Amino acid sequence: MKKENIQKNSVENLDFAKKGSIFAFTRNKMKHERMDHITPFLKYLGADKGRSGLTLQTYRADLEHFHAYMQSVDSTLDWSGVDRDVVRGWVAQMMEEQHKPTYVRRRLSALRSFYRYLMQQGEVSRNPGAEVKGPKLGRPLPAFLREDELNRLFDTPGLFEDNPEAQRDRLILLTFYTTGVRLAELVGLDVADVSVSGRQVRVDGKRNKQRLIPFGEELAAQLEHYLTAVRPNLAGADEAALFVGDDGGRISRSYVEQMVHRRLSAVTTLTKKSPHVLRHSFATAMLNHGADIESVRRLLGHASLAATAIYTHVSLADLKEAYLNAHPRA
């Protein structure tokens, strides 16, 4: 009797082991089948879409990352069972892990492409990736020159040659920095737009909106000298433009862009060296020295405060210092 029970238990244990093995095999097979959809998708991208090997590797890594997350949510979940909540959870997890928005958006884009393929193949009826928005990309912070760099640009002896062209170029740089005008606005200036005695310049901005920009003693003196002693040596007869090129006509955008890049290279290691960097530098300097953001908005010709607010980051260090120095409980 005892021997029979032992044999019976052995048979039952064997059956249980077999069932467990079958279950494990079935589960692994299902997992493999779910994963196996990725391989034909990558073949499709390579053969039909001409994607590079490196791109295919990135797609595989992105999709396998999602698959691992999908398994962590529900080990029985297949591609057709994924809904937008699962995708949202995946995106949220990546953001919690401090991944950059560009990284998360790339992975989400890969998932959307994969589901478009599955829909074409009739494997799924919806694209849950398309139902989820990626994280917003942070607006890049504006590049600007430090004040010591700008002081070197305008005050270093011998940095500008002693000829009419170099004196004109220095004035163009000073105009950008002391008025904050855009490239198109500067190129479009006429002599009639400038009032040296009134110390203001009339600018035709975006959407033909005019604005008056005041300027100080330094620019007034430089403009006076340019108009009386420099421009007559450069401008053609009856030329209305304030800044003229070597041909006597209105100076070109391309010349100004190239000149600004070349001149700024002497004082900064910034990658971007453009007229707009000088506009950024103008706004930054104004805010750092106490100008209110509404005044800066009007000087720049921005339609809303939102466009101007991006410059406020650069003065945060100064605001902290002012707070620590001024607040009685700091």
pLDDT at 149: 93
- What pLDDT is attached to residue 13? 47
Identify whether the C-beta of residue 81 lies closer than 8 Å to the C-beta of residue 118. no
Active site residue 276: yes
The answer to whether residues 270 and 287 touch, using CB atoms and an 8 Å cutoff, is no
Q: Span 215-227, mean pLDDT? A: 97
32 is catalytic: no
Average of per-residue pLDDT across 271-292: 91
- C-alpha 304, offset from chain centre: 20
- Give residue-wise pLDDT tens across range 13-35: 444 444 444 334 344 444 444 45
Contacts of 243 (CB under 8 A, 6+ apart): 168, 171, 172, 186, 187, 189, 250, 251, 256
pLDDT at 255 over 80: yes
Q: Give the lowest-confidence range in 39-43, 128-132, 284-288, 320-324.
A: 320-324
Domain ranges of the chain: 37-131, 147-326
Q: Catalytic site residue 302?
A: yes
d(CA 229, CA 182): 26
String of DSSP letters for 35-92: HHTHHHHHHHHHHTS---HHHHHHHHHHHHHHHHHHHHH-TT--GGG--HHHHHHHHH
pLDDT at 112 over 60: yes
Burial class (CB in 10 A: 0-12, 13-18, 19+), 163: exposed
Is pLDDT at 283 greater than 80 in this prediction?
A: yes
3 has a pLDDT exceeding 50 = no
Q: Is 279 a catalytic residue?
A: yes
| The predicted structure's pLDDT at residue 208 | 79
Active site residue 182: yes
Percent of all residues in the chain with a pLDDT value above 70, rounded to a whole number: 82
307/267: higher pLDDT: 267
Instruction: Specify whether 289 is catalytic.
Output: no
Catalytic one among 170, 250, 279, 280? 279
158 vs 106: CA distance, rounded Å: 50
Encoding tokens for residue 140?
């890049």
Average pLDDT, the chain: 85
Q: Identify the DSSP state of 27.
A: H
Contacts for 80 with CB less than 8 Å, ≥ 6 apart: 123, 124, 125
Residue of higher predicted confidence among 73 and 234 = 234
C-alpha–C-alpha distance, residues 323 and 20, integer Å: 68
Of these residues, 182, 202, 211, 261, which one is catalytic?
A: 182
Instruction: Answer yes or no: is pLDDT of 10 > 60.
Output: no
Q: How confident is residue 39, by pLDDT bands cut at 50, 70 and 90?
A: very high
- CATH superfamily ID and name for 37-131: Tyrosine recombinase, N-terminal domain (1.10.150.130)
Residue that the structure tokens 């589960």 belong to: 27
pLDDT at residue number 326: 58
Share of the chain above pLDDT 90, in %: 61
Q: Which residue among 206, 262, 272, 313 is the active-site one?
A: 206
Lowest mean pLDDT among 76-80, 228-232, 286-290: 286-290
Question: Average of pLDDT values for 90-100?
Answer: 87
Confidence (pLDDT) at 6: 45
Residue with tokens 């029985």: 76
CATH superfamily, region 147-326: Intergrase catalytic core (1.10.443.10)
CB neighbours of residue 37 within 10 Å: 18
Greater confidence (182 vs 138) lies with: 182
Task: Note whether 284 and 291 are within 8 A (CB).
Answer: no
Tell me, yes or no, if the pTM score tops 0.85. Answer: no
Catalytic one of 31, 65, 202, 276: 276
pLDDT on residue 8? 46
| Tokens at 21, concatenated | 């093995």
